[in-house]
Copies of this chain bind each other. A is one copy, B any other.
Amino acid sequence: MSTVSIVHSPIQLASSCSTIPANTTPSLKVLSNDNGKPLSKSMQHHFSSGSRNFSGSSLKKLSARLHGRQVISLGTGRPTADFYPWESLTFRGLVPHPPASGTTSVKTMEYTVTKHSDIYNLSNGLNYGPTLGSPPLVRFLTEHVEIMHHPSYADWSVSLTSGSTAALEIGFRIFCDREDTVLAERFTYPGAIEGAKLLGLRFEGVEMDVEGLRPEALERTLREWDLSRGSKPRVLYTIPTGQNPTGATQSTERRRAIYDIAEEHDLIIIEDDPYYFLRMGAYRADQESTKKTTDFPSYLSLDRSGRVVRLDSVSKILAPGLRAGWVTANAQIIEKFIAYQEVTTVEVNGPSQLMLWSLLEQTWGHQGFASWLGHISSVYRTRRDALLCACDQYLPRDLCTWDPPEYGMFLWLRLNWEKHPSFRRGMEAVEMEELLSEIAEKINNNAIENGVQVTKGSLFTSNQKPNGELQFRLTFAAASVEQFEQALKALRDAVRQEFAFTCE
Contacts and interface: CB of A to CB of B under 8 A. Distances in A.
A72 B483 contact: yes
A71 B453 contact: yes
Among the interface residues A88, A319, A409, which one has the most CB atoms of the partner chain B within 10 A? A319
Contact of A321 (B127, B169, B477): B127
Interface string A51-65: 100101111001000
A66 B165 contact: no
Nearest to A112: B90
Q: Do most interface residues of chain A lie in helix, strand or loop, or is the interface mixed?
A: mixed
Interface residues of A, number: 103
A436 interface: no
Interface stretch (A3-11, A91-99, A260-268): A91-99
A125 interface: yes
Contacts of A78: 320, 477-478
Interface string A131-168: 00000000000000000000000000000001101100
A316 B195 contact: no
A360 to B, nearest CB: 10
B452 A72 contact: yes
B355 A50 contact: no
Interface stretch (A38-46, A207-215, A302-310, A345-353): A345-353
A113 to B, nearest CB: 10
Nearest to A475: B77
A401 interface: no
Given A94-B85, A475-B74, A478-B80, A166 B346 contact: yes
Nearest to A199: B50
Interface in A456-504: 459, 473-480, 483, 486-487, 490-491
Contact of A162 (B75, B345, B473, B477): B345
A396 interface: no
A344 interface: yes
Contact of A62 (B198, B320, B344, B453): B453
A486 B73 CA distance: 11
A461 to B, nearest CB: 11
A346 B314 CA distance: 14
B321 A74 contact: no
Nearest to A81: B319
A87 B83 contact: no
A129 interface: yes
A298 to B, nearest CB: 20
A13 interface: no
A454 interface: yes
A320 B78 CA distance: 8
A374 to B, nearest CB: 13
Interface string A335-364: 000001011111111111001000100000
B84 A455 contact: no
Nearest to A80: B478
A448 interface: yes
Contacts of A50: 198-200
Contact of A379 (B83, B88, B190, B322): B83
A198 to B, nearest CB: 6
A478 B162 contact: no
Contacts of A82: 379
Given A90-B90, A198-B54, A453-B75, A321 B125 contact: yes
A410 B80 CA distance: 14
A14 interface: no
Given A66-B448, A72-B453, A452-B72, A321 B351 contact: yes
A491 B71 CA distance: 12
A372 B87 CA distance: 15
10 contacts: A57-B190, A83-B319, A85-B93, A89-B91, A126-B322, A163-B346, A173-B198, A191-B342, A198-B343, A321-B351
Interface of A: 50-51, 54, 56-59, 62, 66, 69-80, 82-94, 108, 125-129, 162-163, 165-166, 169, 173, 190-191, 194-195, 198-200, 244, 315-316, 318-324, 340, 342-352, 355, 359, 372, 376, 379, 387, 409-410, 448, 451-455, 459, 473-480, 483, 486-487, 490-491
Complex A-B, nearest 5 residue pairs according to Cβ-Cβ distance, in ascending order: A321-B350, A75-B453, A351-B351, A126-B319, A126-B321
Given A74-B454, A90-B92, 18 more contacts: A57-B190, A57-B191, A71-B448, A74-B476, A75-B473, A77-B244, A77-B409, A77-B475, A79-B320, A79-B409, A79-B477, A85-B318, A85-B319, A128-B321, A129-B321, A165-B346, A349-B351, A351-B355
